[in-house]
Amino acid sequence: MNHHVGAKRRFAPGRQESNAMKPYTCKWFNEEKKIILFDIIAPWNWEDAFQAIQEQLELADSVDHGVHAIYHFHNVPTIPRGSGFTNLKRLASMQHPNDRLACFVGTHGLLQAIMNILSSVYGLRDVIQTYHFVETPEEAFKIIADYEREHPEDAAL
């Protein structure tokens, strides 16, 4: 499936970093810059979640090929408190033309159930079908490797 439509978008930098420690890290997994790895290591709020997606958009904007994301939740709540459906819909709508798969590690099914509801209620089926919910990072890497094998055209856009 081809998710990039039209000209490449540029995303403005997010909010200024504070001195407080973020509850997540966001970085390229390897030198090929094909996988963005998020480690969510402490409970987060909606502002943190939106900032994380903004960082993902900026990284995806820095390359000219497909990019996958792995969100690894380390024994922390997956969904911040308050306004879950509205905020999840907004987060799911924040897409970059280079976005390919998103793998969620350690979400224990709740996020998947909610995303399935969002898919049917808000018409986000095209986005949600790129989401994979797994128990281990190894499963996420396998799903991405299989995708890369099946979609060699994404190697260089």
DSSP track, 92-120: HH---TTEEEEEEES-TTHHHHHHHHHHH
Q: Say if 17 falls within a structural domain.
A: no
Q: If residue 73 lies in a helix (H) or strand (E), which one and from where to where? A: strand 67-73
How many domains would you assign to the chain?
1
Q: 26 by DSSP, 3-state: which? A: strand
pLDDT per position as a tens digit, 65-101: 999 999 999 999 888 877 777 888 888 888 999 999 9
pTM (global) more than 0.75? yes
Q: What is the CATH number of the domain that holds 124?
A: 3.90.190
Q: In terms of residue numbers, what domain contains 76?
A: 28-150
Q: Say if 119 falls within a structural domain.
A: yes
pLDDT per position as a tens digit, 44-69: 999 999 999 999 999 999 999 999 99
With a CB cutoff of 8 Å and minimum separation 6, the contacts of 91 are: 49, 50, 53
pLDDT per position as a tens digit, 7-18: 344 433 443 444
Q: Say if 65 falls within a structural domain.
A: yes
